[in-house]
Structure 1
Amino acid sequence: MDRQRNTRLEALLAEHDYTHRTLADTVNDVAVGIFGKPGDCTDRHVRRWISGEVRWPWTKYLLPLEQIFDCPAQAMGFLPRGKNSAQLARPPARQSPASKELEPVKRRRFLAASAAATVTLALGIDDTPSQGRLSMSDVDRVQSVIGRLDAHFFAIGGGPLLSVCTTYVDRLRDALDGCIYGDRVEKALHRSISSLYASAGWAAYDTDDPAHAALLHTASLQSALLAADPSAAARAWSNLALQARIEGRHREAVQITRAALDNRRTRQNPHIASLLHARLAIGQAKTADRTGAARSLLAAEKAYDRVNAAATAPTWLAFLSEGELSGLAAIAHQAMGQYDRAEASTVQALDLLPSSMRRSRAFYGVQLAELHLLQGDREGAAATVAALDHSSLDSRRIADRLANVQRTLTA
């Protein structure tokens, strides 16, 4: 019989991000749960299967392969030697409960109930496998969930998302510990965990818990480094710079932001570069570097001008728009005592921000009221507060700032 290349098995290796060596190692690991001892598979075996030199491997290899790829041997492109050989002998007593959970119906688990169960349900957060084989399609589902979490944050603020994000991180860390995957999936999972830690940090910020937020942003950076992802690392550095600014460490905030901008790939990404330059401007304004702040604001505008409108930005950057950049510029102007310019930039931000960005609109609405008060315009502040839409917004930090404005107005 002519040798015929097993293109189906070759495609499975590519789909699940396996090399010949890593597949052989995984076959040996899975064999322990089936036969009670490691297998003796090598990369040479895998090459012979793909080349078609071996068209029906021994059972000690086929059973692990069926578990790894979650499909029967013939679906992997193998051809039985005869009708009897297709009936694989399966050791009845060796299969562990863990390996049985590899069946498609049983391999998924829903997130445990938590204080944020209502939000979890509303977002439609899918269950995440804690055992079995993970592929990029699983990662795509995770990214879809993270996108919905980001949209939820932009709509109502951090509030209940803190426990949702940290619970989801735990699920993904369980997947990292208990599942089988290739290098590409591993890095993608670390990238997802970094994103969730960053979102959790912002949720902690909204609940006015800066110490917890700092820990979460540091964890976000650690996962970004494990993912070897410059964009995720830039996000984490940016959040750590903001954290330093919140805690009054303005020079440190400037140093962190500059360090993030030192990365060439970060500077070349117009979305991230514009955000970092705008936040650098705020730090420079806080340290009385007016020339540097003006230069950074201009750099932020130039970077944003390079944004390709047709390109899709990461979901966590969905908030970044001309309106958001105007709002950030207003913070810098306010820090330099330029209240009239800060007010004009804040008004522009509110004009440009879409209604779906309710959290940002509330944030800059309160900022505008504060600027009115700083300039002695109590009527303007009262009108701005009256026009604020903060119903169902879940951000203690914004709520506390609004309460301070209202107390001032009624004093």
Structure 2
Amino acid sequence: MDTPTNTILSTLLGEYDFTHRSLADEVNQVSGRIFGRPGAATDRDVRRWISGSMRWPTHRYPLPLAEIFDRPPEAMGFVPRGRTSRLPSPPSSVRPGQEEPVKRRAFLTASTAATLTLALRIEETPVRGRLTMTDVDRITTTIGRLDAHFTAIGGGALLTVATTYIDRLRTTMDGCTYGPRVEQARHTAISGLHSSAGWAAYDSGDNATSRLHHAAALQSGILAKDGHAQARAWSDLSAHSRAEGRHREALTINRAALESRQARQDPRIAGAAPLPPRHRPRPPRHGACARSLLAVEKAHDRFDTTAPPPPWLRFLDTAEIAGLAAIAHRATGRLPDAEKATAQALRLLGPSMHRNRAYYGIQLAQLQLAQGDTTSARATAATVDTTAVSSPRIAQRLATVHRHLATAQETP
């Protein structure tokens, strides 16, 4: 049987400007730094990783690859296989007396969260001395990378990483000295980290913890006097309320997000605000949702493509707008339109967006089931791949779809 090509790793080579030979050389160099002696990877190994003939890197290569590409092996398109996929620990002779306990635990636990903790190097954030804007910029970059991991693999494995980093930054607050400008920037960074932790908790199925983190993100945004951070927190709180069925509350919060000066000035923030939710007991109105969709599309057309968006807004692309359209159509009972929009979102998603691909794949199967098309729903559900996704909530939704399929009648 033919093995699937690892298109994600192939894309990463292009993004990072690696050839097969140069990636092998970089892996060997990083392996030497981690394990005390260089690796023996060759361009042939890289070709086998990309071709899919080797589904998981052997020996000491997963950890160097995780550090090079700043993501766990699963998010590079590798498929774990039981005990052989455990990450190795470095020999005790490596850098004696310099290996911090946090870093040693990261190797030994051999989990996705530990791999990310190592790759993000959160233990390098200072906890004493003078904190500068350079330190804050480094913290902000790390949080941005954490956001990128969420869109790639989901939040289940990131909650531990995010909460660990929050604790680290609290220690930084208590142990370092800094000026007013750094203090404000630090509150902005902490606001972003709480937002990331909130969505990681949501993906893990912990709604209470998720709401606490989103509220803390708003508080830190207010302390920072940062309108963008506050707009993000309002938007997150609105989306959370809508997901829990508190539609009127979501609408009130959503208005606060859209009425902010930042939302009026930055079309990306306006586009990221959730669509007006469904109201009870009155049924949703298609006209209102259509107008909201048009507003989001117009906001997207006004995006400044010459300037990179903030890391937390990089998800807002044409695929996500199609997904928002599907949510709006579903809320107004227009299931065929919702199915078409969901299928469009799946076609537009990038190859590394494992979480969103699984999310919309499940949504497509649900919509097909709701319309009585059991045959299509079964075929769609069979294509949903959660191998590289760390999200208990998504796994639960997929299990529910399979339970419904098991008892459903086939479409005549």
Same structural fold, with TM-score higher than 0.5 when normalized by the shorter chain: yes
- Could you tell me which of 218, 229, 232 is aligned with 1:232? 229
Q: 1: CA distance between counterparts of 2:100 and 2:395?
A: 36
Aligned match of 1:281:
276
Amino acid of the structure 1 residue aligned with 2:275: L
The change in CA–CA distance for 1:287 and 1:234 in structure 2 (over 3 A counts) is: farther
- Could you tell me which of 342, 347, 356 is aligned with 1:360? 356
- Could you tell me which of 136, 142, 152 is aligned with 2:133? 136
Q: 1: CA distance between counterparts of 2:182 and 2:406?
A: 56
Aligned match of 1:215:
212
Aligned match of 1:324:
320
- Report SS of the residue matched to 1:281: coil
The change in CA–CA distance for 1:309 and 1:283 in structure 2 (over 3 A counts) is: farther
Q: 1: CA distance between counterparts of 2:100 and 2:206?
A: 31
Please identify the structure whose Cα radius of gyration is greater. Answer: 1
Q: 2: CA distance between counterparts of 1:218 and 1:295?
A: 29
- Share of identical aligned residues, percent? 55
* Structure 1 segment 224-373 matched on structure 2, within 5 A: 224-276=221-273, 279-283=274-278, 288-373=284-369
State the Cα distance separating 1:111 from its structure 2 match.
5.1
8 Å contact kept, 1:159–1:395: yes
Q: 2: CA distance between counterparts of 1:387 and 1:306?
A: 35
State the Cα distance separating 1:284 from its structure 2 match.
6.2
TM-score of the superposed pair, with normalisation by structure 2: 0.70
Aligned match of 1:376:
372
Amino acid of the structure 1 residue aligned with 2:149: H
State the Cα distance separating 1:292 from its structure 2 match.
2.4
Unaligned runs of 5+ in 2: 1-98, 408-412
Aligned match of 2:152:
155
Q: 2: CA distance between counterparts of 1:159 and 1:335?
A: 27
- Report SS of the residue matched to 2:276: helix
- Could you tell me which of 173, 185, 192 is aligned with 1:195? 192
State the Cα distance separating 1:359 from its structure 2 match.
0.7
8 Å contact kept, 1:111–1:171: no
Aligned match of 2:92:
none
- Could you tell me which of 179, 182, 185 is aligned with 2:182? 185
Residue-by-residue CA offset, 1:164-186 (whole Å, 9 max, x unaligned): 11111111122122211122211
8 Å contact kept, 1:323–1:353: yes
* Structure 1 segment 32-51 matched on structure 2, within 5 A: none
Residue-by-residue CA offset, 1:343-365 (whole Å, 9 max, x unaligned): 11111111111111111111111
Residue-by-residue CA offset, 1:203-244 (whole Å, 9 max, x unaligned): 110111111111111011101111111111111111111121
State the Cα distance separating 1:288 from its structure 2 match.
1.7
* Structure 1 segment 12-91 matched on structure 2, within 5 A: none
State the Cα distance separating 1:247 from its structure 2 match.
2.1
State the Cα distance separating 1:323 from its structure 2 match.
0.5
- Could you tell me which of 397, 402, 406 is aligned with 1:410? 406
Aligned match of 1:164:
161
Aligned match of 2:40:
none
